[in-house]
Structure 1
Amino acid sequence: MGEVSILEDNKRNPVKASDRVLGKTPYYGANGIQDYVKGYTHTGEHVLVAEDGANNISNYPIYYISEPSWINNHAHVITSNQNLISNLFLAYSLKNVNYLKYLVGSGRYKLNAKILKLIPVSFPSINEQKWIGNVLKKLDDLISLQQRKLDLLKQLKKGLLQKMFADKDTKQPVLRFDGFSGDWEQRKLGTYIIEYNKKTTKNNEYPVLTSSRKGIFFQKDYYDGHQVASKDNVGYNIVPYGYFTYRHMSDDNLFKFNINTLCKFGIVSTLYPVFTLNTSADKYFIYYYLNYGKEMQKFALIQKQGGSRTYMYLSKLRKLRFIVPLLIEQEKISTILLAVDNLLSLQQSKIDKLTLLKKFLLQQMFI
């Protein structure tokens, strides 16, 4: 690469966060924009390649910039020979490199300038480079647009969760549907919980499930085709479709409650209690309350009794006191939140497909 580009690392200037002057110029480090400041170190088109501190070795941080920017000393600054190769094409070409064989050190890897110059780069005619670069740039812009939409949906969900639930102090939510008024009432969660304690009687009687912070999955899907549960899963808890399960211990006071939406029956370790609700409560209202409600977070903190781990046995969970509206209002709240979650899933799916398309094009368009 040293034959088709030059390094402009000598212009870089690291500035401590406390010494930066707030402005509109992007301040770049190894992993992209860290801040916005006044002034700049570089103008024009450049390619940034992480020198050290890369947060992802398999998807190495490479950035194409075309506006005044401030670059610190954790990113190499490359300018291509425009008669041979365009900066935009070079940026996408460098995304295809396996950097692991070029990095030195252990733990905090480093890509030395001398080694960077030795990385081989292949390129077609300038016209073909421009075409490839423009196609990939448009795809990147589309991915960024879809990501912004996803971020807005996440903000919407966060706002709804904050305003559609009451607590024991307010007793009424900030945001409420027409036709509903009056205080929510305090109840024990145990009023609604129905424990389910059936267990498997033979090995692999039903699919093994993984209940995680990200949701509920078939274990083989979650672990890329592998089943990490015990080879003998006789005695595992059975989780019928539509029932709750959760890991009853936590190292950070956070508990994730999941509902089996995958299969008629699944199984989980005995560390994961299983329960359903009676008809006096809306299943998904309770789901959102347990996962996002302030009272649940406070209750979890109270359960910690020495040591670093918090235990939330079902017997303890039953004692949670929370503020709850009438069933019909519960259903309206959960319907809105489920609709937003469905939009989030669809939006994430769009981004995943576009990212997969970009990966395919990068593999096919470069030698």
Structure 2
Amino acid sequence: MEMITWEQCKLNEFLSVSNLKNTEDKYNKKDVLSVSGDYGIVNQIEFQGRSFAGVSVSNYGVVETGDIVYTKSPLKLNPYGIIKTNRINNGIVSTLYAIYKTKENCDSKFIEHYFNLDSRLNKYLKPLVNKGAKNDMKVSSENALIGEVCFPHITEQKLIADFLDWLDVYITLHQ
């Protein structure tokens, strides 16, 4: 098998911003998703026992299976937020989240594995995020994509992601 070199590129060469909104109210509070550092993207009611959504969810962003979500709120180990892939059903997230679609040169599961390493995620986001006085994130959805990443070809991305998925299952089974 021919080895293809990993290339340094901007993340926006692999992802594009999704501005799909729940304007037709196709989704309701039962479809609100949350992003968890440990569990990835989860259904808010199933995971937290209740919905924290406002009265209307019409302005919420639509997240389809395979979309990437960046939560712009600080977590203990991730002061600049986290990046996760939606591996569950379609749903919606509040306007505090950025939603991305993968381009044809990118595997969505690989993105999640790539950013699962806290040190890599923090190093990537730190130069892009200006923290406001209230500790809120001042970064546009577009600007969160201008950092440099080093990715292999899509074929290799899929192989790596599948292997790491298998490893996660294997570890869980042995715990």
Please give the TM-score of this superposition, normalised by the length of structure 1.
0.41
Structure 2 counterpart SS, 1:298? helix
Deviation at 1:195, TM superposition (A): 1.9
Distance 1:293 1:213 in 2: 10
C-alpha distance after superposition, 1:179-223 (max 9, x if no partner): 464742211110111222111125572411111212221111122
In the alignment, is the contact (CA less than 8 A) between 1:184 and 1:323 conserved in 2? yes
1:259/1:304 CA distance change after superposition, 3 Å:
closer
1:326/1:304 CA distance change after superposition, 3 Å:
closer
Deviation at 1:310, TM superposition (A): 4.0
Match status 1:335 vs 2:165: no
1:320/1:235 CA distance change after superposition, 3 Å:
same
Q: Which has the larger radius of gyration?
A: 1
C-alpha distance after superposition, 1:228-286 (max 9, x if no partner): 211321211111122111212326524322222221x2011011111111111222222
Which segments of structure 1 move beyond 6 Å, counting only runs of 4 or more? Answer: none
1:305/1:235 CA distance change after superposition, 3 Å:
closer
Distance 1:181 1:204 in 2: 45
Number of aligned positions between the proteins: 168
The root-mean-square deviation of aligned C-alpha atoms, in Å, is 2.5
Structure 1 counterpart SS, 2:81? coil
Deviation at 1:305, TM superposition (A): 3.5
Task: Tell me what 2:52 maps to.
Answer: 228
Structure with more of its chain in helix, by fraction: 1
Structure 1 segments unaligned to the other structure (5+ residues): 1-178, 349-367
In the alignment, is the contact (CA less than 8 A) between 1:303 and 1:310 conserved in 2? no
The equivalent position to 1:286 in structure 2, one of 95, 111, 129, is 111
Structure 2 counterpart SS, 1:211? strand
Structure with more of its chain in strand, by fraction: 2
In the alignment, is the contact (CA less than 8 A) between 2:34 and 2:44 conserved in 1? yes
Letter in 2 for 1:248: K
Structure 2 segments unaligned to the other structure (5+ residues): none
Task: Tell me what 1:238 maps to.
Answer: 62
Task: Tell me what 2:20 maps to.
Answer: 198
Match status 1:256 vs 2:82: yes
1:305/1:329 CA distance change after superposition, 3 Å:
same
Distance 1:295 1:223 in 2: 28
Distance 1:313 1:334 in 2: 28
1:330/1:211 CA distance change after superposition, 3 Å:
same
Distance 1:289 1:309 in 2: 24
Distance 1:201 1:310 in 2: 25
Distance 1:239 1:257 in 2: 13
Please give the TM-score of this superposition, normalised by the length of structure 2.
0.81
